[in-house]
Amino acid sequence: MPVHLRGALYFATRSPVWGGGRAFYDPGAAGHVLARAHLVSTGQFADIAAQEMYREPGEDLDLGEVLSKGRSVLGAGRYETLICPGSLDGRPVLTFTAPWRMDDVARTAPSAAYLRHLAEGLLEAGAWDVDTVTAYLATCPGTAGLWTERAIAELLEDRIERADGTNPADSTDSTDSTNVGPPQATWTQSAHPVGFVPHLRPLRTLEPRRRSWAGDGIEGDIDDGDSAG
């Protein structure tokens, strides 16, 4: 289910797997985050979080603090801080991120493969078109000034071609230097989905011990407890 969250998506540290910056969520920063919500059980969320925390899955997480205070730091690791930015359809929205704030860490441009992974995940939600997704990702701290909307769109050419039967590359000047992403030398650090990339795809949990599976849905509005919107 596509959702909007208050806060900002930014890229920092460096992933040895993806070869560039990782995606993080700062719920206290100005702006909004495009994300995908998946309906999962408490146990499923715990297993996903454990894998991102490099822990052994199988043990439930204590969600008492994050559900009551909106934040719970389980460790100093980059995805060991649980965040509850609000609720959706009466269920808490949960995700995980780093313990630091966006301005406390150096920005790192994401790799082409990672950025494409995030973009395709958002497009699969069905709520945003290519122009919206590329404009959004091109302005995130860590990509801004390094990845243009056009460069990100080119990462999605195969997807666009499959969708409409045309080849966008036919009308693109391949010699234009603005079409390429940042050179490796400019990357300083990391990668994820919303998860949100996941993990920038926040996860909806059910009550403990109940099981449910993710399904398609329409765009949802997050209730963050602020009636002023």
Q: How far is CA 17 from each of CA 22, 61, 65, 110, 164, rounded to the nearest angstrom?
A: 10, 26, 32, 11, 32
Whether residue 56 is found in the same domain as residue 93: yes
| Residue 139 falls inside a structural domain | yes
Whether residue 95 is found in the same domain as residue 201: yes
Query: How far is 82 from 133, CA to CA, in rounded Å?
Result: 25
Whether residue 145 is found in the same domain as residue 126: yes
Say if residue 222's pLDDT is above 80.
no
Say if residue 95's pLDDT is above 80.
yes
Which is more confident, 23 or 186? 23
| Residue 127 falls inside a structural domain | yes
> Average pLDDT in the 32-52 region?
90
**Structure tokens belonging to residue 182:** 């940042």
Beta strands 32-36 and 2-6 are antiparallel
Whether residue 172 is found in the same domain as residue 67: no
Most confident listed range (16-20, 55-59, 173-177, 224-228): 16-20
Whether residue 65 is found in the same domain as residue 124: no
Whether residue 99 is found in the same domain as residue 118: no
| Residue 12 falls inside a structural domain | yes
* Number of domains forming the structure of the chain: 2
| Residue 37 falls inside a structural domain | yes
Reported as type and span, the H/E element at residue 45 is helix 42-52
**Structure tokens belonging to residue 122:** 């958002």
Whether residue 14 is found in the same domain as residue 93: yes
Whether residue 6 is found in the same domain as residue 66: yes
**Domain limits at 182?**
112-186
Whether residue 127 is found in the same domain as residue 177: yes
Whether residue 28 is found in the same domain as residue 90: yes
Q: What is the pTM of this model?
A: 0.72
